[in-house]
Amino acid sequence: GNIIRNLVVITERMIENLQMTGGLIFSQQVLIRLAEKGLERQKAYVMVQRNALRVWEEGTPFKDLLLEDREIGKYLRKEEIEQIFDLSYHLKHVDKIFERVFSE
């Protein structure tokens, strides 16, 4: 009750925190999409991990690396990758979730 009622969300800071990951917060979703395309999970994991490591080593955003990766491109179109990284897509049901969780 009181914790949530008094919660202050600083949107700008949340966005900064998300950006600090270089997009790696979406790596699980990339893995899932590759598996949905029929790619063996272990192979998909190797492809995702290869690019994730480059984010830390080079500082290049994860999405940019995926868009440049020809092997990933065999399975995911540019539009699909863009959708994975679209926060509004992931938050589209947030109001319903909050309503369900916090309704009394």
Per-residue model confidence as pLDDT tens for the chain (104 residues): 567 778 888 989 988 888 888 999 999 999 999 999 999 999 999 999 999 999 999 999 999 999 999 999 999 999 999 999 998 877 888 888 878 887 76
**Cα separations (Å) of 75 from 15, 18, 62?**
29, 26, 16
Q: What is the CATH number of domain 2-102?
A: 1.10.40.30
What is the pLDDT, as a whole number, of residue 104? 63
Whole-prediction pTM: 0.78
What are the domain boundaries of the chain? 2-102
CA dihedral 4, 91, 11, 29 (to 10 degrees): 110
